[in-house]
């Protein structure tokens, strides 16, 4: 039923005196066609949740399902294949490849999978994101906001079923943020995607259908259709 689901998810880091309980028995499911925001103070476990749901990080115990398939227990190479076909991940730190142009970075997931770009979708992505005239530039020649938008285009180029976004508007001014968030919101409805976004920004959260609030490795609130005023 869920596009992404975690059952009794536990993630500890370190041991002994340095033991950190990053996720304390988290149960959560994300439905198709919904845009969810994860909020909460720094260190509350938001990034850890995203990384474990995306199979980028191992779990201490519990189970993670992606599109009906259990990913906990899969081997690294199996996970890589699954991630490439089903997930788009927008990292806080962009993770763009410095030697490649914006265009090559955006098309990289297709290049790696041996697929061909859908030109129409590609054009729409780069135009909506406002980077159509920056495609031949390398990341170092782009502003932070432009790099972020290249990273967003790269995450969406394969039209993934599930998109994880870690502070996707963290480096954008409010006008660009609004454009990017509207685009994500529209993309969810159009492609029936599932988007899970970590954000500190109440305005960004107001674009989502659901807001989940974390504190100390646990979900402390889970509300549908949040209003910007209520989230601040
Ligand atoms: P965020 O802004 O999402 O809170 P952090 O600054 O907490 O990001 O973490 C950035 C990166 O550093 C993440 O990949 C996280 O896994 C890692 N990290 C966070 N805390 C620690 C720690 N105490 N020791 C080692 N790595 C950490
Ligand atoms: P958030 O994203 O909400 O800021 P994180 O998921 O990054 O929170 O971190 C949750 C807790 O786990 C924090 O106490 C953080 O320091 C710790 N942590 C995160 N990554 C690591 C890591 N790689 N090694 C050790 N501790 C970590």
pLDDT in tens, 196-209: 999 989 999 999 99
CA angle 86, 122, 185 (to 5 degrees): 60
140 lines ligand 1 (CB under 6 A): no
CA distance 132 to 13: 42
The CA distance from 127 to 110, in Å, is 19
Q: What is the pTM of this model?
A: 0.85
Average pLDDT over residues 39-66: 95
Name the average pLDDT for the chain: 91
Q: Which of 163, 132, 177, 164 is nearest to 150 (CA)?
A: 132
Q: Which atom of ligand 1 is nearest to the CA of 198?
A: 3
Each residue of 97-153: pLDDT tens digit?
A: 999 999 999 999 998 888 888 999 999 999 988 899 999 999 999 988 899 899 999
- Closest alpha carbon to 84 in 112, 106, 119, 63: 112
What is the rounded distance in angstroms from the CA atom of residue 30 to the CA atom of residue 76? 24
Burial state string for 123-146 with b = 16 or more CB within 10 A and e = fewer than 16: eebbebbebeebbebbbeebeebb
Using the mean position of ligand 1's atoms as its centre, give its distance from the Cα of residue 192 in Å. 31
**CA 231 to CA 84: how far, in whole Å?**
33
For this complex, say whether ipTM is above 0.90.
no
Regarding the beta carbon of 42 and ligand 1, being less than 6 Å apart is answered yes
User: Using CB atoms within 10 A of its CB, is residue 219 exposed (0-12), middle (13-18) or buried (19+)?
Assistant: buried
Q: How much distance in Å is there from the Cα of 220 to the middle of ligand 1?
A: 21
Residue nearest to atom 8 of ligand 1 (CA): 47
* Cβ atoms < 10 Å from Cβ of 122: 18
pLDDT at 63 over 90: yes
Token pair recorded at residue 169: 């508007």
């Amino acid at each position: 039923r869920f596009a992404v689901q975690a059952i009794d998810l536990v993630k500890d880091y370190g041991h002994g005196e340095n033991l950190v309980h990053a996720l304390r028995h988290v149960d959560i499911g994300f439905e198709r066609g919904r845009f969810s925001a994860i909020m909460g103070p720094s260190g509350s476990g938001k990034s850890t949740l995203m990384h474990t749901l995306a199979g980028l990080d191992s779990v201490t115990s519990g189970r993670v399902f992606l599109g009906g398939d259990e990913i906990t227990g899969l081997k690294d190479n199996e996970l890589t294949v699954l991630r490439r076909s089903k997930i788009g991940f927008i990292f806080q730190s962009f993770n763009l490849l410095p030697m490649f142009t914006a265009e090559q970075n955006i098309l990289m997931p297709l290049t790696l999978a041996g697929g061909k770009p859908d030109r129409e979708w590609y054009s729409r992505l780069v135009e909506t994101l406002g980077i159509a005239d920056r495609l031949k530039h390398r990341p170092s020649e782009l502003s932070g906001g432009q790099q972020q938008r290249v990273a967003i285009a790269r995450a969406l180029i394969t039209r993934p079923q599930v998109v994880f976004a870690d502070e996707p508007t963290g480096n954008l001014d409010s006008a660009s943020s609004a454009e990017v968030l509207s685009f994500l919101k529209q993309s969810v409805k159009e492609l029936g995607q599932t988007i899970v976004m970590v954000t500190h920004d109440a305005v960004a959260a107001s674009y989502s259908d659901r807001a989940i609030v974390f504190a100390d490795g646990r979900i402390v609130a889970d509300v549908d259709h949040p209003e910007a005023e209520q989230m601040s």
